[in-house]
Amino acid sequence: MKLEKSKKVHYDSGPNMTPMVDIVMVILIFFMLGASFVGVEHFLRTNLPAIGKGGEGPRDTGVVPDEPLEIIVDSPISGDRWLAKAGAISVADRTSLANQLRQLRTAMNSSGITDDRIQVVINPGKNVKYKYLVEVYQAALQAEFSKIAFSTAH
């Protein structure tokens, strides 16, 4: 009688997990050692306003914010020159603009508006080149304005 050879059973156990376990253990050791070097954390103390109920509007401080001095800078399509308008002022060169802005700042100071409350906003047109915006900015600096901002092109 012939004996049948026993069939070897081969189970597919899936991917080898040893490298993954090694990596996880190394990461675990790294974080454990890193945590031992962490000292006492210092927190910043801030003086934030108390949180009120939802839906409350901003508190009225009684101070009316000043309107910014808006300088509108326009340029023709050719882009070879610029024109700055600030209220009744309309000039096309930096020195004249600086002189007019200086006179305007003096008039605002004499009406009781201090220099730290005056804000200048330079509002460029779509065709204005950056070099002209720099000239207007320098004119505002020559007129001794300290708060100068730019707005998006109109």
The single-letter DSSP state of residue 107 is H
Using alpha carbons, list the distances in angstroms from residue 56 to 38, 51, 53, 125: 41, 10, 6, 38
- Give me the residues paired with residue 72 across strands: 85, 123
pLDDT tens for each residue of 32-83 = 988 877 766 666 676 766 666 666 666 666 666 678 889 999 988 777 888 8
Angle (nearest 5°) at CA 125 between 116 and 86:
40
pLDDT tens for each residue of 88-144 = 889 988 889 999 999 999 988 898 888 888 899 999 988 888 899 999 999 999 999
* Amino acid residing at 19: P
User: pLDDT tier at 6 (50, 70, 90 boundaries)?
Assistant: low
CATH number of this structure's domain 69-150, picked from the four choices 3.40.50.10420, 3.90.950.10, 3.30.420.270, 3.40.640.10:
3.30.420.270
Task: Tell me how far apart the alpha carbons of residues 101 and 87 are, in angstroms, rounded to a whole number.
Answer: 10
Q: Residue 21, SS3? A: helix
* Amino acid residing at 22: D
